A and B are shown apart, each in its own frame.
Chain A
Amino acid sequence: MGRDAWSGRDVLSILDFSRPTLELLFDEANSFLDRPHLVKQSLRDKIVTTAFFEPSTRTRLSFGSAALKLGAKVLDLSPDVSSVLKGESLPDTIRMLDGYSDIIVMRHPSEGAALLASEVASVPIINGGDGSQHHPTQAMLDLFTVKRLKGEIDGLNYVVLGDIRYARSATSFLYGLSKYKPGTVHLVSPESLRPRNEVKDKLKQIGLKTEEQDDLESVIADVDVIYMTRIQKERFPDPNEYEKVKGSYRITKSSLANAKKGSIVLHALPRTNELAYEVDSLPNAAYMKQARFGVPVRMSLLDLVMGGNRR
């Protein structure tokens, strides 16, 4: 399994990637992290376009940073000042960007938007999140973080906590875990935020066993990785439903008092009130490192997809 498996391909869902392909990505990312002086301007004749149709801080800017570090030029589409505001269709917008770019990194509030874009574009499409469905590069950097900090992904016990219904990062993380051999994977969330039926079916189909739990306390001493999510207020069809579950879970210093030694807390960020700031000072807090790892992982991804020849 070499670089050819990555070259020129769309990145729509982590389900499309094999374990060896992910391992290659992680090896490259480790190399960027550990030997930054060896990074070459492998993409200096390339143009990376970021097209984010919904808000983003980490994904958009870490892709931009990754592209710049590899010498690429970055174009950024701002939907609020482009023809998107005039009602231009997504396929037409993508056709235009396709002509201006060597790769398009996009985020969109609709599920399937990246797949649709890949059908009309000739350049690779990188899905930076589509509705509540997929966020493959987040899952890649989440798995990378686990491997980097814990030394392995296999055999660890996990708990995914919070909004597993609408948080695409949680769904993609679970899909990503299916490529490995985790120990027990617990899901803790209010009933209305449990995985959607199609996600449950998919998890069954790909063979990832999960155990639904009522509270974090019952599993906290057993897990190596605590994967937190923000309640995705913007994806609730009914604002009243959001109000019902708002504040229904929260991690504080005291809730981590019985946590397993060496366990880590991940969060795709941004956080609201589900993750107390007092947790930042604990050794378990790994989410800021996780966010920073977004750059080397996305450098690795751009380099592999665009066929950079770094070595």
Chain B
Amino acid sequence: MSEKETMLVQKISDGTVIDHIAAGKALSVLRLLGNPQDRGVTVALVANVVSSKMGKKDILKVEGVELTDDQVQKLALIAPLASVNIIRSFRVWGKKNAVPPKTVLGVLGCTGATCVSVREKDSVTSIFSLVSSSPLVYRCKYCGRDLTEQEIAAQLA
């Protein structure tokens, strides 16, 4: 983040800063993280920041919460370009890149109306395996149909 960007919201002492979220996706990211603001966690959302890399981007700051590796993997489903900075005592303590997980269990739904994971959804956990990271494509284990990046984003919006 540039100095100008940090001026918009005060620095956090401990927690996570998620940068390079595609513009308009920050709320989806919060939902994917279980809406920490609903549990009283301080969250700052900066939307539509000008970015040389992305044109426009969103940024999230989550006070007092460090994202787990599992959460970072899920984050990659809707923000595959996101970078995650773990902050401790106002300093960047560690960085994590959002790498799409090889397998996604239960988070995504198959688009095939006749797939067994849809017809038997109460008794079956959906399982998708990564086909491509860019563009993001996942394949249903049961029927072999592919989920595109747009379909994934729509499901997690």
Contacts and interface: CB of A to CB of B under 8 A. Distances in A.
Contact of B114 (A90, A115, A132): A132
Nearest to B117: A112
Interface in B128-157: 139-146
Interface residues of A, number: 22
Contact of B144 (A91, A111, A113): A111
Contacts of A91: 120, 123-124
Interface string A186-202: 00000000000110011
Given A110-B115, A111-B112, A112-B117, A198 B144 contact: yes
B141 to A, nearest CB: 7
A91 B115 CA distance: 14
Contacts of B113: 237
Nearest to A199: B144
B11 interface: no
Q: Interface size class for chain B?
A: 20 to 34
Given A111-B112, A116-B116, A198 B146 contact: yes
Contact of A112 (B122, B143, B146): B143
A112 B123 contact: no
A109 B116 CA distance: 9
A237 B113 CA distance: 9
Nearest to A108: B116
Interface in A146-183: none
A264 to B, nearest CB: 30
B116 A89 contact: no
A201 B144 CA distance: 10
B91 interface: no
Interface of B: 112-120, 122-124, 139-146
20 contacts: A89-B122, A89-B123, A90-B116, A90-B120, A92-B123, A109-B114, A109-B119, A110-B115, A110-B118, A110-B119, A111-B112, A112-B115, A112-B116, A112-B141, A113-B120, A130-B116, A131-B143, A133-B143, A198-B139, A235-B114
